[in-house]
Amino acid sequence: MIYLLLTPLLYAAQSVVARHIQRVGLNLYAVGGFTYLFSALLYGLHVARWPVPLDPALLGAGVLLGLLFAATYLVFVPTLADRGVSVMAALCQLSALVPMVASLVIWHEQPTAVRLAGAVLCLVAMPLLALDKGVTDTELTPRKVLIFLGLVVLNGGVLLMLKWFDERGPQEQFSGFMLTTFTVATAVMAALWPVYRGVLNAATVGWGAGMSLSYAGASLMIVLALKTFEGAVVFPFAEATALALTVAFAAFFWREIPGKAGLAGIALVTVAAVLINL
């Protein structure tokens, strides 16, 4: 239960901190690079303390997941500066459908009717929460559609790979798997440093170190949650609850008060949380 609750908290922390970093004018790409670097260091320390040989298949999967992590971040960052796209970025939480469907179709999960109802409520809640953010530019452009589709595919791929590890990989190899993942993501961000004009300063390194706790922790929590709950339940719950927490945080601290749609979304997520834990 605790893992299921910690997962959306850590996901919400990623979104809230990213928005704060953007508000104070730091280079989000540079912060992301250090986020992946410190995440790799965290898992590297665990591997150094308790070394376990990594299966070649997991090594390859870690490389793929690292590329997906970096690509998702690179596509996500520009949406923070474009409010119209940002709403579509929030809607990309519907990428939870990718591992949800895979859990039902590929791995033949059979959640209880009550838990499945909770998962469906989460899917309904996400558009309500996303569309309540005060859109200033609702014109649908090809760029926005491509960004939205890209985020759905990339973020869905990240979640699907974590579900794949839950089904395929022994738990003792998880740290090696994530060390590979974050090392590859760090290498991608380092290679692109001149492109996004990365700036090295104490604030960038500090926020990267702080963000690494949520990135490294969320991956671990979601895999641990999958040991108790079905993927068809975990993924929509984690994504919808994280979005609801982000909306609530913005309302309390930044005075971005949700309207009727947002409040309805939060209510649905609350009901869903009760159903999922019955």
The answer, yes or no, to whether residue 170 has pLDDT greater than 60, is: yes
Q: Quote the pLDDT of residue 65.
A: 97
The answer, yes or no, to whether residue 143 has pLDDT greater than 90, is: no
- pLDDT tens by residue, 42-85: 999 999 999 999 999 999 999 999 999 999 999 888 877 665 55
Both tokens assigned to 199: 């700036």
The answer to whether the beta carbons of residues 37 and 186 sit under 8 Å apart is: yes
Write down the residue that tokens 């004009």 correspond to.
197
- pLDDT tens by residue, 209-249: 999 999 999 999 999 999 988 888 888 888 888 877 877 78
- Sorted by where each begins, the domain ranges of the chain are 2-276
Q: What is the pTM of this model?
A: 0.87
If phi > 0 it is left, if psi is from -120 to 50 it is alpha, else beta; for residue 229 that is: beta
Q: Quote the pLDDT of residue 207.
A: 96
At 12, which helix (H) or strand (E)?
Answer: helix 2-23
- Residues in contact with 33: Cβ distance below 8 Å, sequence separation at least 6, in sequence order: 186, 189, 190, 193, 198, 208
Q: Which range (27-31, 117-121, 134-138) has the least confidence?
A: 134-138
Percent of the chain beyond pLDDT 90? 43
The answer, yes or no, to whether residue 266 has pLDDT greater than 70, is: yes
| SS3 category, 29 | helix
